[in-house]
């Protein structure tokens, strides 16, 4: 039996453009010198328009792709951009990555996505493996508290790096994240205005430092509204937030340990678990009469619209955060020199009112 791509006598059929292995060969076939081709593949706009058209016409007839390894071996700067996220199984970061990838490609760069899976060793490992491909720059969403600062710092010294989502002070060339004070402030204000002031549901040892900022932001916001903060600080390690939210939420509810009828969760994933716990124990969550509990979150998780009831939360402005991070990184790469000052920006979120509070 002849396989597809071969005629019955076994000779190859020319159904698609002939494969060309080397640039040398392609130069001979196309009648364009190799150095010119090299320039073209490096940046098509760097050759005369008429030449560009000749190359493109030749590419139609011959199937040639420059060898990535040979290219990057000698090039002082690759066109790789590393994207490191702390935990890809969190749909939140998956979304960020999904938005970042096409933007990189559009700018002519090759995005390489890596996840630290919540593990500091993995984070360093990722950075080390990125080092190997000599990226022009890296977008790093750090683990935060767990990050091994000195290692990350060493990496950032060698390679242009922009931090996002979670700051490690003084590390990297820039940082863009959420204005936790504003987002938490907005929910607290809303909750205080429409009912009892909220207690704050959080993990004692949250892996992400945003949790600390939210803790502080909650405390300040409560005092600003003339209330004493009420913390529901629970144990639990790792990134299984839903599970922790559910287990600890169940415990709190069963023990009647809630000081008010309103709970603000440090993030949406905790809230998802907490809502499940409330449902499980027969507590009606919502804002109207006949409801026993109000629950709000923070992040606007992709699933926040499908909890029971739909979760009231604050969306992070991730378009801006991702966009700004990439933009800044590209400008650093293009300028060819590291910026003297480290830019830091916090973007406001917007309150997303649904049914849970």
Partner DNA sequence: CGAATTTCTTTACGCGCGTAAATTTCTGAC
Partner DNA sequence: GTCAGAAATTTACGCGCGTAAAGAAATTCG
Q: Which residues pair with 113 in a beta bridge?
A: 83
76 binds, among DNA, a copy of itself, none (CB under 5 to 8 A by kind): DNA
Q: Are 318 and 140 in contact (CB under 8 A)?
A: no
225 binds, among DNA, a copy of itself, none (CB under 5 to 8 A by kind): none
Point out which span in 3-11, 48-56, 161-169, 199-207 binds a copy of itself (CB under 8 A): 3-11
Point out which span in 52-60, 89-97, 205-213, 315-323 binds a copy of itself (CB under 8 A): 89-97
Residues 149-168 that bind a copy of itself (CB under 8 A): 150, 153-154, 157
Helix axes of 149-158 and 120-132: crossing angle, nearest 10 degrees: 20
- Give the integer Cα–Cα distance in Å for 287 and 277: 17
Handedness of CA 37, 43, 44, 45 (dihedral sign): negative
194 binds, among a copy of itself, DNA, none (CB under 5 to 8 A by kind): none
Min dist. Cβ of residue 75 to DNA (A): 4
Candidates 5, 35, 170, 238; binder of DNA (CB under 7 A) is 35
Q: Residue 154, SS3?
A: helix
Is the Cβ of residue 47 or residue 221 nearer to DNA in the bound state? 47
Candidates 10, 132, 289, 290; binder of a copy of itself (CB under 8 A) is 132
Is the Cβ of residue 23 or residue 264 nearer to DNA in the bound state? 23
Is the Cβ of residue 222 or residue 321 nearer to a copy of itself in the bound state? 321
Q: Which residues pair with 231 in a beta bridge?
A: 200
Q: Which residues pair with 164 in a beta bridge?
A: 176
Is the Cβ of residue 58 or residue 252 nearer to DNA in the bound state? 58
Q: Residue 13, SS3?
A: coil
Min dist. Cβ of residue 295 to a copy of itself (A): 12
Candidates 2, 38, 129, 194; binder of DNA (CB under 7 A) is 38
3-state secondary structure 61-114: HEEECCCHHHHHHHCCCCCEEEEEECCCCCHHHHHHHHHHHHHHHHCCCEEEEE
Candidates 51, 72, 281, 320; binder of a copy of itself (CB under 8 A) is 72
Is the Cβ of residue 107 or residue 308 nearer to DNA in the bound state? 107
Q: Is 243 in the site for a copy of itself (CB under 8 A)?
A: yes
59 binds, among DNA, a copy of itself, none (CB under 5 to 8 A by kind): none
Q: Is 236 in the site for a copy of itself (CB under 8 A)?
A: no
DSSP state of 300: -
Q: Are 271 and 245 in contact (CB under 8 A)?
A: yes
Q: Which residues pair with 137 in a beta bridge?
A: 81
Q: Is 308 in the site for a copy of itself (CB under 8 A)?
A: yes
Min dist. Cβ of residue 117 to a copy of itself (A): 6
Q: Is 284 in the site for DNA (CB under 7 A)?
A: no
List Cβ<8 Å contacts ≥24 apart for 90-96.
90/239, 90/269, 91/301, 91/302, 91/303, 92/299, 92/301, 92/302, 93/141, 93/165, 95/302, 95/318, 96/141, 96/164, 96/165, 96/318, 96/321, 96/322
Residues that bind a copy of itself (CB under 8 A): 3-5, 16, 65, 67-73, 88-89, 91, 94-95, 97-98, 101, 110, 112-115, 117, 128-129, 131-134, 150, 153-154, 157, 242-243, 246, 272-273, 275-276, 279-280, 302-303, 305-310, 355
């Amino acid at each position: 039996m002849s396989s597809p791509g071969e005629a019955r006598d076994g000779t190859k059929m020319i159904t698609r453009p002939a494969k060309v292995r080397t640039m040398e060969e392609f130069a001979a076939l196309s009648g364009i010198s190799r150095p010119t081709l090299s320039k073209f593949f490096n940046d098509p706009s760097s050759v005369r328009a008429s030449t560009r058209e000749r190359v493109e016409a030749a590419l139609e007839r011959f199937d040639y792709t420059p060898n990535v390894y040979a290219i990057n071996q000698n090039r002082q700067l690759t066109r790789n951009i590393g994207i490191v996220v702390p935990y890809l199984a969190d749909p939140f970061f998956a979304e960020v990555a999904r938005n970042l990838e096409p933007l990189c490609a559009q700018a002519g760069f090759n995005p390489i996505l890596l996840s630290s899976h919540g593990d500091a060793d993995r984070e360093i490992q990722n950075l080390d493996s990125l080092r190997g491909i000599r990226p022009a720059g890296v977008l790093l969403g750090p683990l935060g508290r767990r990050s091994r600062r000195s290692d990350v710092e060493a990496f950032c010294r060698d390679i242009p790096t922009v931090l996002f989502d979670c700051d490690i002070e003084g590390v990297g060339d820039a940082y863009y994240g959420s204005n936790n004070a504003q987002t938490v402030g907005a929910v607290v204000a809303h909750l205080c205005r429409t009912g009892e002031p909220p207690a704050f549901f959080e993990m004692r040892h949250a892996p992400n430092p945003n949790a600390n900022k939210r803790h502080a932001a909650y405390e300040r916001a409560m005092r600003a509204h003339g209330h004493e903060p009420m913390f529901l600080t629970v144990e639990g390690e790792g990134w299984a937030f839903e599970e922790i939210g559910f287990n600890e939420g169940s415990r709190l509810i069963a023990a009647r340990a809630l000081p008010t009828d309103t709970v603000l969760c440090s993030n949406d994933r905790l809230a998802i678990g907490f809502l499940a716990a409330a449902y499980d124990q027969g507590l009606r969550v919502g804002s109207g009469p006949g409801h026993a509990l109000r629950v709000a979150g923070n992040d606007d998780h992709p699933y926040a619209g499908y909890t029971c009831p739909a979760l009231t939360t604050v969306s992070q402005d991730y378009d801006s955060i991702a966009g700004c991070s990439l933009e800044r990184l590209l400008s650093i790469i293009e300028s060819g020199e590291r910026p003297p000052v480290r830019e830091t920006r916090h973007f406001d979120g917007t309150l997303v009112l649904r049914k849970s509070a």
